[in-house]
Every structure is written in structure tokens, then in C-alpha cells.
Amino acid sequence: MNFIDTFFNWDVLTSSMPLLLSGLKVTLLLGLVSVVAGLVLGLAIALVRLYAMRPIRLVAIIYIDLFRSIPLLVLLILVYFALPFIGISLSPFASAAAALTIVSSAYTAEIFRAGIEAIPKGQFEASQALGLGYRHMMSDVILPQAIRVVIPPLTNNCINVIKDTALASVVAMPDLLKQATQAQALEANPTPLIVAALMYIGLLWPLVLLVGRFEKRLRTTR
Amino acid sequence: MSSIVSIRNLSKKFAGFSALKNINLDVSEGEVVCIVGPSGSGKSTLIRCINLLEEYEKSGSVLVDGIPVVRGEKLAMVRAEVGMVFQSFNLFPHLTVLQNITLAPVRVRNTTRTVAEKQAYAMLERVGIAAQAGKYPGELSGGQQQRVAIARALAMQPRIMLFDEPTSSLDPEMVGEVLDVMKKLAKSGVTMIVVTHEMGFARQVADRVVFMDDGEIVEEGTPQQIFDDAREERTRNFLNAILQH
Ligand SMILES: Nc1ncnc2c1ncn2[C@@H]1O[C@H](COP(=O)(O)OP(=O)(O)OP(=O)(O)O)[C@@H](O)[C@H]1O
Ligand SMILES: [Mg+2]
């Protein structure tokens, strides 16, 4: 058996393709749900962290630090295997989405906080002096400026979340990695794993390039 | 004449340091008050208490148009009546000149966009830069930016305008154009409190000059009384030092 037949076997590829594509779909869906939910939750937590009353702010700080310290795999296993003991049984997808969202929101919150804190104090003061309320100050003045600063790190975080969806295969999620290992066992050939790796790269490389582009643009406009 | 701004027993501490000590000041409708004094004397802190950009000690009070300036639901309303122009302009860099000016009238006063834009053009006309409406602040000179900032504050039709050293961060050749706009406002009856180091402006435009030192109002009076005939030694020393330059 030669190298090509082992790692790039055409017959194995075509027969395992449907399985791989269904896995890719699950991975994309899980990634999308977690990224979007993580963004929304992260922004909310960042605002609480910055502007809420002290005790509530403390809760946000603990949340952010705690979920940046815990390995995602550990959290995922806790959610999937430990929560049922207190009567909370989540599907593999829900468990994975919950764990990914929680961790992503902790990182996103820190990114948003740094972005908001990078806005000069004068922007807040000018808004307040004009009589803008907190909501309009944030939505019309502060966040539009912060967004520019946070887009590169947010895209980075998005890449990490999509990569980490692969961990969901340990809770029997039929994601891309899980389906690839399944197909590899079925066919007794590693070609599906190679194809899965290429799919991950094809998905994430453009995002990596995008981050570089954003960062360059930010450097030149400052 | 009724007071637009009424300040009683105002004190302000920064971590134990007294930046303002028992200040009393009344400003009437249409009056132009210039505040002068050495660096660190509390001039900025004083006018920033008028729209609560600084919190002050509970023992004192600030009233704008009879309404106490305190945290609460009325604060935004009071702030809408107090226009402020900063040393560093603080324009919104992501918005055009026109959007900078219409933002607050649309959001706070619920003015329709069409009306707000019409008023914005009128304000830009007033400060002499109607041609720049579509530009971003970063594309304007310092003097133009500060005039936009003045137009932005005026667009809210405030009862009073506060200026905190509006020409101090400008290149010398642009100071005149901003002072000219302010002179025009003063003539048209806008109530103004101006913190400034421009003694020529104060002498020419002010109805009253307030001299501050070390967190206190040392002396106040007409420009003639302060500049030509100061009673207090501290005032004379300050003015002598400034006029040396
Ligand atoms: N946020 C702050 N925290 C601590 N101290 C402050 C703060 N703001 C002002 N101060 C202090 O309060 C005093 C008065 O400051 P203020 O800025 O009002 O002076 P000023 O008269 O406006 O001076 P300048 O002409 O330099 O602008 C100064 O001693 C200053 O160091
Ligand atoms: Mg000052």
C-alpha cells in the first residue's frame, strides 16, 4: 500500500463524504450558536463589569476569571456528565453549546472591557454634557468606536471557539471530528481524518488572514 | 434679574485634597463671566460641577434654572440645558460634523432629523463653517473642530454655555477665529461662563471677571476693577505674572 492510497484514498473519501459533511454542518452550527451567544452574553457581562453596583460587579469579575481558568474540556464534561445528578440533563449539542458559550463570553467580556476602556474619557464627558442618557451614550458614541478596536481580538476568539467545537466529540456530539474518527474506524483508513483536518483549515485560515488584515488597517488609521 | 446658575457653599475634595472651598457664585441671564486664575486653582473643577461631570460635597448646592444638579432622573434634562465646550474639543470622531451636531437634539430633544439638520446648518453658519458639514472631525483644523464643538453645544439650545479653556490647545493662528465666534455669541445674549487665560478676551467681553486661587474665589468684579484696580495682592501678583509674557 502506498502513501497516496493510505492517506488520500479516493474511494474512502467518496464513501465517507456524506458523513463528513453532516459533521461539518454540526460543527458550523455549534460554532455559530456559541460565537453569537458568547458575543451577546460577553457584551452584557462587560457592561456589568464596568458599570454595575459593586456587589454585582464582583459577580461579573468572578464569572470572567473563573471561566477563563477552567479548561473547556473539564467544563464540558461537568455540564454533560455531572449536571444530570442534580436533574439537569442536556443533549450533547446543548451541553457543548452551553460550555462553549460560557467560556467564550468570559473572554469576550474582557475584550469588550478593554475596547471600552480604550475610549478617551472626553468622549464620555462630551456625551454626558450633551444630556445623552447611558443607553444612547453607549450605542451611539462609545460602542461604535470600541467595535473598531475589538474586532481583531473578537475574530481571534471566534477562531478559538470554532476550533474548540472539536472537543464536543467527547460527549458523543456528531461533529466533524467525531464523524471523521467514526469513518476512519469504519473504513480502517485515515483518509477521513485528513479530509476533516483540511476542512478545519479551510474554515479557519480565511479568518486568520482576516485578523491580520484588520490589525494592519487599525495600525494605519491610528 | 433671575439667576440661571446659583452656586452655594460649594466644596469639592479629591481624596482629602480640597479643590474647591466654599464657593458662592450667581450668574444671571445673558451674563458673560470669565474665570481666571493660576493652574490648579480649581477653575475646571468649578465649572464641571455645574453639569455634574464632578460630584461635589453634599454640604453645598448647585442650581441650574432653579433645578438642583444632582444624580437622578432630572440630571439628563439639566445637562441638556448646559452646553459645554472642552479644551480638547471631544468631538465624536466616527461621526460627521453634521451627525456630531444632530445626535443630541435627535436623541435627547426628540427633534426630527430634518429639523435637526436644518438647525445644525444654521449653527454651522453661526460659527462660520457651513461648508464642512459632511467632513469628519479628523479632517478639520483645530480651530474648525472647536467651532464645530461650539455648534454642537449650541444645537441643544442650552440656557447657558460653559467653556473650559477653549483655545488652550489651539495653534496660535487659530485662537482668533474661535475667540471671534465666542465674542459673537456673547453679543447675541448667550449666557456664558468661560475659563480662560486670554486676558484680552476677558477684558473685552466679560461682564464680570472672577479670580480664583487655591480653590477659592479671591475676588470678582468688572474687568476694569480686576485688571486695573485689583484689591487683593494675590490677584495683582497673578495678573502681573501673566502680563509679563
Ligand atoms: N480627578 C482628579 N483627581 C485628583 N485631583 C484632581 C482631579 N482633578 C483635579 N484635581 C486637582 O484639583 C485641583 C484643581 O484642579 P482644576 O483642574 O480644577 O484646576 P484648574 O484651575 O482648572 O487648572 P488648569 O489651569 O491647569 O486647568 C488641582 O490641584 C488638581 O490637581
Ligand atoms: Mg483646567
Range of the domain at A94: 3-221
What is the SS3 string spanning B181-218? HHHHHHHCCCEEEEECCCHHHHHHHCCEEEEEECCEEE
CB B211 less than 6 A from any atom of ligand 1: no
Q: How many angstroms does the Cα of residue B39 sit away from the middle of ligand 2?
A: 7
Contact list in B for residue A121 (CB cut-off 8 A) is none
Separation of CA B215 from chain center: 18
pLDDT tens per residue across span A174-221: 999 999 999 999 988 999 999 999 999 999 999 999 888 888 877 765
Q: What percentage of chain A exceeds 90 in pLDDT? A: 79
Ligand 1 atom nearest to B87, measured from its CA: 27
Q: What digits encode the pLDDT tens for the residues A101-154?
A: 999 999 999 999 999 999 999 999 999 999 999 999 999 999 999 988 899 999
Chains A and B form CB pairs within 8 A to the count of 60
Q: List, in sequence order, every residue forming a beta bridge with B25; answer none if it has no partner.
A: B7
Distance from the A65 Cα atom to the nearest Cα atom in chain B, whole angstroms: 30
Strands B160-164 and B82-85: parallel
Per-residue confidence (pLDDT) for residue A211, from 0 to 100? 85
Length of chain B: 245
Cβ distance A130 to B82 less than 8 Å, yes or no, reads: no
Q: Give me the tens of pLDDT residue by residue for chain B, a chain 245 residues long.
A: 579 999 999 999 999 899 999 999 999 999 999 999 999 999 999 999 999 999 999 999 999 999 999 999 889 989 999 999 999 999 999 999 999 999 999 999 999 999 999 999 999 999 999 899 999 999 999 999 999 999 999 999 999 999 999 999 999 999 999 999 999 999 999 999 999 999 999 999 999 999 999 999 999 999 999 999 999 999 999 999 987 76
Chain A residues bordering chain B (beta-carbon distance below 8 Å): 120, 122-123, 125-126, 128-133, 136, 140-141, 144-145, 148
Average pLDDT on A168-174 reads 86
Interface test with B, best of A53, A127, A130 (most B CBs within 10 A): A130
Ligand 1 pocket, residue B43 CB under 6 Å: yes
Angstrom distance (rounded) from CA A211 to CA A168: 25
What is the rounded average pLDDT for all residues in chain A? 92
Q: Are B153 and A130 in contact (CB < 8 Å)?
A: yes
Report how far ligand 2's centroid is from the alpha carbon of A39 (Å): 40
- Residue A36 — pLDDT band, cuts 50, 70, 90? very high
User: Which ligand is located closest to the Cα atom of residue B37?
Assistant: 1
Alpha-carbon gap: B44 to the closest alpha carbon of chain A (Å)? 13
Chain A neighbors of B152, CB-CB under 8 A: 130
ipTM of the complex: 0.95
What is the pLDDT, as a whole number, of residue A222?
46
Chain B residues at the A interface, defined by Cβ less than 8 Å, are: 51, 53, 76-77, 79-84, 86, 88, 90-94, 103-104, 107-108, 152-153, 156
| A49: confidence class by pLDDT, cuts 50, 70, 90 | very high
* Listed residue (B63, B152, B172, B159) closest to B107, CA to CA: B152
User: Which residues of chain B lie closer than 8 angstroms to A145, CB-CB?
Assistant: 92-94
Which ligand 1 atom sits closest to the C-alpha of B48? 18
User: Residues A202, A179: contact at Cβ < 8 Å?
Assistant: no
- CB contacts of B136 in chain A (<8 Å) are none
Q: Among all ligands shown, which has an atom nearest to the Cα of B242?
A: 1
* Residue A1 pLDDT class (50, 70, 90 cuts): low
Q: What is the pLDDT of residue B160?
A: 97
Q: Looking at the predicted structure, is the pLDDT value of residue A170 above 90?
A: no
Residues B194/B163, Cβ–Cβ less than 8 Å: yes
The rounded distance, in Å, linking the Cα atoms of A92 and A97 is 8
- The CATH number of residue A151's host domain is 1.10.3720.10
Rg (CA), chain A: 21
Ligand 2 (ion): residues with CB under 5 Å are: B 44
How open is the CA angle A142-A146-A147, to the nearest 5 degrees? 120
List the single residue in A with minimal CA-CA distance to B108.
A132
SS3 letters for chain A? CCHHHHHCCHHHHHHHHHHHHHHHHHHHHHHHHHHHHHHHHHHHHHHHHHHCCHHHHHHHHHHHHHHHHCCHHHHHHHHHHHHHHHCCCCCHHHHHHHHHHHHHHHHHHHHHHHHHHCCCHHHHHHHHHCCCCHHHHHHHHHHHHHHHHHHHHHHHHHHHHHHHHHHHHHHCCCCHHHHHHHHHHHHCCCHHHHHHHHHHHHHHHHHHHHHHHHHHHHHHHC
pTM, two decimal places: 0.86
Domain total for chain A?
Answer: 1
Q: Is the CB of B12 under 6 A from ligand 1?
A: no
> Is A145 within 8 Å of B107 when comparing Cβ atoms?
no
Mutate to test the pocket of ligand 1, among B10, B11, B13, B14 (most ligand atoms within 8 A of CB): B14
Alpha carbons A192 and B190: distance in angstroms, whole number: 77
| B84 three-state secondary structure | strand
B132 pocket-lining for ligand 1 (C-beta < 6 Å): no
Q: Which of A120, A131, A148 sits opposite B76 (nearest CB)?
A: A131
